[in-house]
A and B are shown apart, each in its own frame.
Chain A
């Protein structure tokens, strides 16, 4: 299926288009943060802490007098980075693992699947929390932890499809003319996995942003004064009585971004392959 055909499908789905717009906006904000932010996201002004929204500070000031809007704009950079890095880690390890497992089968498959079973024996969020506590509490390690936790999702997805593909005629033909196993996996198996991987990764970015915010909220991710959305909620929660705007806007931002990614992911799935089960 060509990209033009996918676009034609996607265009008919209003919710998916809404998702696309939200995601495009989110990426643009992340890329052009320094141009868009009206103030320095780290500049404090204790005397004016907790000020409600005004013309100069559209979303108000936070508990240290910093501009909430500017912090949210810079926070988009962090969330986009989190999303991309965790997908690179998860897919980068999960895809080859799943392809090897499904393609070679036998003992290799058994060993890889048992390892994945052990990872799946933990509730995902719990595994991420434990990994962070082992690696050390900071945003980089939170990204690594979330990436590692998403490995099983990719490995399972790729293994299932590879199991079907390896016995298909053109793969057998490639083997017959002497293409190496690595060549077959890279040239014939992985390209066929592209559609489900794109869908999975879009949804995975949404999950990663939610989890990274969760870890930061618990104090196990981004640390002060980083303008990470979850960390903003964590440091602002004490002021919920007197300055509720500090915790309202970061949460709304997370929700809209994640909703956009979910809508786009669902739409892409319908456009790429309606029968795909994810």
Chain B
């Protein structure tokens, strides 16, 4: 197991390096002179020069990359020319909010998704199954940001039950969580249904039934246990959806997280923050995927370590 983890980490090095190079280049390929763009229209020549010097934009590209990697190794992502705060501080201030939102959404999506998926699989083609199927189809076809606006319209404007924006109490968390959970919930529910259905057709389920076990035990012990591994994989695969959806959800509900920081920085042409946030999220995503792979191997003895 230790060897597998080490191997998996080593394998991720070229990908991580590629990600760093890609993000580094993308920010420097902005049309026009990045220093001028960042300084804004009213900036003096001195201000532009100051930004150029601070970001080393006056040096050749390979030298810039060397300096960038050198700073990165120290955890230094540069400073925002807009707020003058270190990018790492800007990220740190919003990371917690994003993590909380994603965690609650994933939890909600997994619990409800697995539950509806199992119920659907136990009674396939029943009314519940058809309804769940329809709802999840609509769920993946809806723009999450529009769903968010409709939530605000109904629960905040019309009923006045829940706050429409910002953070503070756990009530603030309700609408963004449900909104962000929609797509993963639909996917998890559909996959759980097909995984459990597949398991239910296996010989050992017939054996379990034949020896007189109550259906409840057959499903809970024999079916769910074996459907668990593919379900874990699907839950893991939702991380990408969750990170992407968070950008939109945070924007709708004015949730001060990383996604909103990134979009605001893009619109304000604050490229050091864009670069830092994107890099941070992409690196997290790479490690989350490694974690899921490791978990998968750990849970399924049939997957070999090599």
Chain B residues positioned under 8 Å from A208 (CB to CB): none
* Chain A interfacial residues counted at CB < 8 A: 43
Q: How far is B244's CA from A254's CA once the two chains are assembled, in angstroms? A: 18
Binds A, one of B2-10, B67-75, B139-147, B195-203: B139-147
- Assuming the contacts A121-B282, A210-B143, asked whether A244 and B240 have C-beta atoms less than 8 A apart, the reply is no
Q: Assess whether A134 is interfacial by the CB under 8 Å rule.
A: yes
Q: Assess whether A164 is interfacial by the CB under 8 Å rule.
A: no
**Chain B interface bracket (under 10, 10 to 19, 20 to 34, 35 or more):** 35 or more
In whole Å, how far is A151's beta carbon from the nearest beta carbon of chain B? Answer: 14
- The number of A-B residue pairs with CB atoms under 8 Å apart is 133
Q: Assess whether A194 is interfacial by the CB under 8 Å rule.
A: no
List residues of A (80-107) whose CB comes within 8 Å of B's CBs: none
Binary flags per residue of B7-23, CB closer than 8 Å to A gives 1, else 0: 00000001110110011
Q: Assess whether A46 is interfacial by the CB under 8 Å rule.
A: no
- Assuming the contacts A123-B243, A219-B267, A220-B266, asked whether A251 and B149 have C-beta atoms less than 8 A apart, the reply is yes
Q: How far is B278's CA from A262's CA once the two chains are assembled, in angstroms? A: 30
Q: Assess whether B286 is interfacial by the CB under 8 Å rule.
A: yes
In whole Å, how far is B90's beta carbon from the nearest beta carbon of chain A? Answer: 16
Q: Assess whether A213 is interfacial by the CB under 8 Å rule.
A: yes
**Residues of B that sit less than 8 Å from A by CB:** 14-16, 18-19, 22-23, 26-27, 29-31, 137-138, 140-147, 149-150, 152-153, 157, 239-241, 243-245, 247-248, 251-252, 262-263, 266-267, 274, 278, 281-282, 285-286
Chain A residues positioned under 8 Å from B22 (CB to CB): 118
Q: How far is B15's CA from A183's CA once the two chains are assembled, in angstroms? A: 34
Chain A residues positioned under 8 Å from B248 (CB to CB): 125, 214, 217-218
Q: Assess whether A255 is interfacial by the CB under 8 Å rule.
A: yes
Q: Assess whether A7 is interfacial by the CB under 8 Å rule.
A: no
**Residues of A that sit less than 8 Å from B by CB:** 114-115, 117-118, 121-126, 129-137, 206, 210, 213-214, 217-220, 230, 233, 237, 240-241, 244, 247-248, 250-251, 254-255, 258-259, 262-263
Q: How far is B149's CA from A255's CA once the two chains are assembled, in angstroms? A: 14
Chain A residue with the shortest CB-CB distance to B29: A134
Chain A residues positioned under 8 Å from B252 (CB to CB): 237
Chain A residues positioned under 8 Å from B278 (CB to CB): 122, 126, 130
In whole Å, how far is A205's beta carbon from the nearest beta carbon of chain B? Answer: 12
Contact of B15 among A121, A134, A251 (CB under 8 A): A121
In whole Å, how far is A120's beta carbon from the nearest beta carbon of chain B? Answer: 9
In whole Å, how far is A267's beta carbon from the nearest beta carbon of chain B? Answer: 12
Contact status B152-A130, CB under 8 Å: no
Q: How far is B145's CA from A240's CA once the two chains are assembled, in angstroms? A: 13
- Assuming the contacts A118-B18, A206-B141, asked whether A247 and B157 have C-beta atoms less than 8 A apart, the reply is no
Q: How far is B239's CA from A248's CA once the two chains are assembled, in angstroms? A: 29
- Assuming the contacts A214-B143, A240-B152, asked whether A133 and B19 have C-beta atoms less than 8 A apart, the reply is no
Q: Which of A126, A135, A230, A258 has the most CB of B within 10 A?
A: A126
Contact of B141 among A118, A136, A233, A258 (CB under 8 A): A258
